Structure 1
Amino acid sequence: MNKNYLKSSILLSFSVCSLMVSAQNNFQQNKQAIYNEIITEVENNSQLENLAFELLDEIGPRLVGSPEMQQAHNWVVDTYKKWNISAENVAYGEWKSWQRGTTQIEMTHPRIKSIDGMQLAWNSNTKKAIEAEVVAMPIFQSKAEFETWTNSVKGKIVLISQYQKSGRPENQWKEHATEEDFTSFKKEKNDDLAAWNNSIKTTGKTTREIVEYLETKGAVGFVQSFYTGTMGSNRIFYSFSKTTPMVDVSLEDYGLLHRLAVNGKAPKLKINTQSKNLGTAKTFNTIATIPGKTKPNEYVMLSAHLDSWDGAQGATDNGTGTILMMEVARLIQKYAPNNDRTIVIGHWGSEEQGLNGSRAYIMDNPTEVQKIKVFFNQDSGTGRINYVGGQGFTQSYNYLGTWLQNVPENNRKHIKTDYPGMPQGGGTDNASFVAVGVPAFNLGTQNWDYGQYTWHTNRDTYDKIVFEELELNVIITTILTLEAANDPNEISNEKRVLPTTTEWPTVKEPKRNSKDY
């Protein structure tokens, strides 16, 4: 070998190593100044409200396969490109494409009244309004009784939900009623629920199967009220009927229709739904990347699902997680773009149908998945981050605990930790990555009545976002990401030994087609 060539190679290698060490030392020496700049930016120039406006008000809900979902993917890519962050939409399957239109529900007998409700996802449109008598599904004592009753539904619209005697939430009963009345209310509520569940069980069918069966018996429409227990809040999912209209209505209007029906007043409804069935559409994940400088083949991944149900705007599930991770990426690109490790941001599709986007990413990118050293996910509403569990990784305390110490005390004081914790088997997208052995942490948040009020409901709207707490989350997540991206140490993915009755979560195949759903 030529001695001059060898000498040049050694000098070049030394120079590269020196640059790598210099870049790393530069961040470590200046990180407090960088963090201060980021905190100032969040306090004075946060883009969260503008991002929320563009995503939630302009685009709206993001049902998988819908034109709005495609619009959201494109918006995320375009927004990142404005910030000089590379991003792309990556297809992994297809889904039925459906677009919500207007829903008009009117009671036409025994009096005229507009009914508060909406069509359920993927339901066929009525083309023209249908008008029919409403009947209530009774409590069945036997399967034979059910079968006899089904012969009476031809030409009728059927109420298929349990009747709620009180529209007041339990907390109001507890606060205002006498102790005796509250106890009586609780007992009656539990007894009514048990009777309803036993009635459904008696039919030998699920509610979905009952609807499909009643269609074959000639029912011309279905009305449900999926009440959450909080006033005005109903869960909005998808239709069980194949060719007839199916709508969800408010507890108050459902109760009115039910009482009229069971008291022999033969109420009538007119239902007019104008949705569009658009065939099928590709499903995507949107992936953005901020390349690392000294360890480009080691990844820190940020995660939030982009899709939502479409009963409202999908604000807290998961608009807040989406704009959180986008704002974190913007701040990093602006103030600290030269990190050791590569930062990847995953905006997943079809999380709501079974973590499909994140599971597809794992299946389709095995090499990249092995490069992920740590993963942060946010998908639990609008509140401040208040819990981080170790997900069963034995050394999680060592690195998470260290990184959290760099978060300002005013932010950090709200956070409870649990090390090493237990691995998460489902619920949100970090579970997909835990299953393949990636230290993948969900950033749990203050509840804000998420489970009853906004999760998958008709009340998950822009106005439910608490931007003050979301700003705290931006600071926490940005600092955790930068700490992870520039930690000079190896980040262990060693798993704990689980109790003998527990197994580590297994990798699951995604649903890549709506026919599998």
Structure 2
Amino acid sequence: MERNMPNNQKLVSLLCSLWILIVFGTENGTSQNFPTDDQTIKMIWEEGMEEGSRAYDLAQVLMDSIGPRLTGTPGYRRAAEWLESVYTEWDVDVRRHEYGTWRGWERGITHVDLLEPRIRTLNATMMAWSPGSGGVVEAEVLPLPTLRNQADLEAWLPEVNGKVVAISFPEPTCRAPESWEEHATAASYERLLQEKETAEGTWTRSLLVAAGMERGSARGAEAVVARRLEEAGAVAVFRSLWSDGWGADKIFDASTERIATVQLSCEDYGLVTRLALNDQSPTVRIDAQAEFTGSVPAFNVVATMTGSELPDEYVLLGAHLDSWDGASGATDNGTGTIMMLEAARILKTAYPNPRRTIVIGHWDAEERGLIGSNNFQADHPEVMQGLQSAFNQDNGTWRVDYIRMMGFTDAGSHFARWFSAIPPEITQYIELDIPGLPESGGSDHMSFLCVPAPSFRFQSNYPDYRQYTWHTGIDTFDKIVFDDLRNNATLAAMVAYMASEDPERVSRQTVTLPTVPLPGPMRVSRRTQNSPSIGQWPQCRPATRSFPG
């Protein structure tokens, strides 16, 4: 229910914010600066921040040995089985929440060579859920031409038969923007940007013509065009999506059903496409292997520590287990998975009999639209009814530094009490946005926020993550900052403990949302690139039970 925030609550929120800044705003170099004599907090610190930590060992197995965890693949199944074995070893109840089915798919090798006009092995990988190449294929590469209308398209389509077609815009530079800004002259960089804008606009208009679309995004048009090329006899499709960072390319999913869709790095896609645009007849050899394995179960992995006094009230720690499979899914969201897994281990050791029930949710199919967590919400109304608070983490590049109260009017006072027991070595880096506004999108916290139930996001630095590891081919183990991962797991365990012990429930009373966008930069945009909700509280989505389409 939405209400205006009373003036006294505004004052309480303001005082809480100021109090936290005063108490925790000064850095302290010691590792034993406990604000209270709470022995559980001290034990959590010892388990999480000192020699008891298992964050490194757990992360190494998940990211290196198991690897990426695309929904419906053996990688996701292996990760789930590993989680189940770990929780069982720790004597924590763990079960699968099966919510539907998914399209099974198994990735094999991808190997692509440039054969003409010179030999080079290309940096390439099949996109998720792509068909294989059906053996080794050798073919010339054609670029998408300039298309003004459907007549141009119909005249060109017969040429793609037996060819590989490059349909993404070729970046004029794969040098990171910050390098241009630091080293290039202003005139040089401005000329580059203007030339890119003109060329990309022409390319996107051709894509829209080829897709039969009046308007839309280039990525959406590429998905349609790839299917049209498949029907016209192309033997494979090349795509590329640069992440505006050195060596970083975003790798998503294919739309083709019979031919391979292959992602090339920014550099190699540019090479092949320039050769084709300059009539130098690039020829490639592709060996891309994949297998569709039929319908497979879709499920979350859910661990539970039953409450000793209030078993029907819940504290929910969550992070999505699935990932894209262009790399290892380390910071999206392997670190979130390890953060909550390690928090569970710490709690089992330091707080084995929680007052409220603590649930740890490892969600499936977040990358396909929060599907796993949304189904858990739909299938477990008792948890939603009794939810004290949910805490989600979904970008683990750095330590948690921002928590938004999501428009719940008294959440700030609860966080103030919880943080009053947590060492400033953790809290001094965290900005609490009180009372904040709910986000309009983002991660799995939205599946519970829409109820509405108090659901919060542990947020780390976003721009660096977005540029280099979010959905890219370099989201690997070596990007993890383990001091920060240990910090985050310890934070999650301490907050879960404090929320479980809190004598009061977190109220579901919310602020009245603005009806028009507020002036000035919104902190939610700076932190997460997700806009705040305007005029209407976030709405819950219908539960998706199977592979879309």
Q: Same fold (TM over 0.5)?
A: yes
1:323 is matched with which residue? 338
Greater alpha carbon shift after TM alignment, 55-64 vs 142-151: 142-151
- Matched residues in 1 for 2:383 and 2:491: separation? 26
2:493 is matched with which residue? 478
Q: 1:173-193 deviations in whole A, cap 9, x for unaligned?
A: 000011211222222222333
- Matched residues in 1 for 2:272 and 2:255: separation? 20
Return the TM-score normalized by structure 2: 0.86
Let me know the Cα RMSD of the aligned residues. 1.6
Runs of at least 5 residues in structure 2 that lack an aligned partner in the other structure: 1-34, 214-220, 517-534
- Matched residues in 1 for 2:543 and 2:471: separation? 21
2:40 is matched with which residue? 34
What is the SS of the residue equivalent to 2:57?
A: helix
Could you say if the C-alpha distance between residues 197 and 127 of structure 1 is closer, same or farther in structure 2, counting changes exceeding 3 Å? closer
Alignment of 1:96-175 (within 5 A): 96-175=103-182
What is the SS of the residue equivalent to 2:233?
A: coil
1:276 to 277, 291, 299: 291
What is the SS of the residue equivalent to 2:338?
A: helix
- CA shift, 1:499, in A, is 2.2
- CA shift, 1:201, in A, is 2.7
- Is the contact made by 2:41 and 2:421 (CA closer than 8 Å) also made in structure 1? no
Could you say if the C-alpha distance between residues 407 and 188 of structure 1 is closer, same or farther in structure 2, counting changes exceeding 3 Å? farther
Residue 81 (structure 1) aligned with residue 114 (structure 2): no
Q: 1:339-371 deviations in whole A, cap 9, x for unaligned?
A: 211101111111110100011011111122211
- Matched residues in 2 for 1:143 and 1:274: separation? 34
- Matched residues in 2 for 1:407 and 1:64: separation? 36
- Matched residues in 2 for 1:435 and 1:170: separation? 37
2:13 is matched with which residue? none
What is the SS of the residue equivalent to 2:170?
A: coil
1:503 is matched with which residue? 536
- CA shift, 1:30, in A, is 8.7
1:445 is matched with which residue? 460
Aligned residues: 488
For 1:123, give the aligned amino acid: S
- Is the contact made by 2:36 and 2:421 (CA closer than 8 Å) also made in structure 1? no
Q: 1:207-264 deviations in whole A, cap 9, x for unaligned?
A: 2111111111111111111111112111111112111111001111111111211121
- Please identify the structure whose Cα radius of gyration is greater: 1
- Matched residues in 1 for 2:101 and 2:260: separation? 25
What is the SS of the residue equivalent to 1:111?
A: coil
For 2:60, give the aligned amino acid: F
Alignment of 1:269-418 (within 5 A): 269-418=284-433
Alignment of 1:2-81 (within 5 A): 32-41=38-47, 42-81=49-88
Q: 1:285-319 deviations in whole A, cap 9, x for unaligned?
A: 11111111111111011000000010001100100
Greater alpha carbon shift after TM alignment, 376-385 vs 500-509: 500-509
1:425 is matched with which residue? 440
- CA shift, 1:448, in A, is 6.6
What is the SS of the residue equivalent to 1:496?
A: coil
- Matched residues in 2 for 1:296 and 1:268: separation? 65
Instruction: Give percent identity, aligned residues only.
Output: 38
Runs of at least 5 residues in structure 1 that lack an aligned partner in the other structure: 1-28
Return the TM-score normalized by structure 1: 0.92
2:247 to 217, 220, 232: 232
1:435 to 450, 459, 482: 450
- Is the contact made by 2:97 and 2:376 (CA closer than 8 Å) also made in structure 1? no
Greater alpha carbon shift after TM alignment, 63-72 vs 470-479: 470-479
- Is the contact made by 1:223 and 1:249 (CA closer than 8 Å) also made in structure 2? yes
